[in-house]
Amino acid sequence: IDEVLLVDCGPETPQAAERAGVSLAQVRAVLITHQHSDHFGPSFLMHRSWVTSLPLTVIAPPDVIAACRQWVRDDAPVEFRSVIAGDRVPIEHEDTTYDVRVVAARHATLLGQAGHESVLYDITTPRDGRVFYAVGQTAGDKAHRKASFSVPISDGLLDAVGLGGACQLAHQ
């Protein structure tokens, strides 16, 4: 999202950031949508400790948080926040606050296999307004490539099926 907030951190994230000329060392919070390997590479937690001692907050569904813990030393400056749909999480950094709403998602393959716990994030940022982060079809493995998210929004303004990347929502 910006230099403070990162959504999903798969194994390609460090290389993508380097190609874009962006440092991940200043990131203060990581929101993870689900436990598939292209969205969640927990080794980033260990690698980050090699370049910075700044505190980091990891926000994710409970199964992702459980998988993260084994990658972090007990004395590491990492806070884990387990979230479920309906949660609202403020992320404060210096004199600004990000408002993160956790939205229910269902992530399963076309083969009918059960997916991992999944959430999406409706984020209001201090500078860029409101961003709805939804993940859809990817270039990953065949099962994941055919996966999609179905997102129920209570006010009926958005029914996101198979969205990819981040899309801007108008302020209400």
Residue with tokens 């296999």: 113
Q: What is the pTM of this model?
A: 0.74
Query: Considering the chain, what percentage of its residues have pLDDT values greater than 90?
Result: 22
13-35 average pLDDT score: 87
User: In sequence order, what are the residues at sequence separation of 6 or more whose Cβ sits closer than 8 angstroms to the Cβ of residue 162?
Assistant: 136, 137, 148, 149
pLDDT band at 152 (very low <50, low <70, confident <90, very high): very low
The amino acid at residue 171 is H
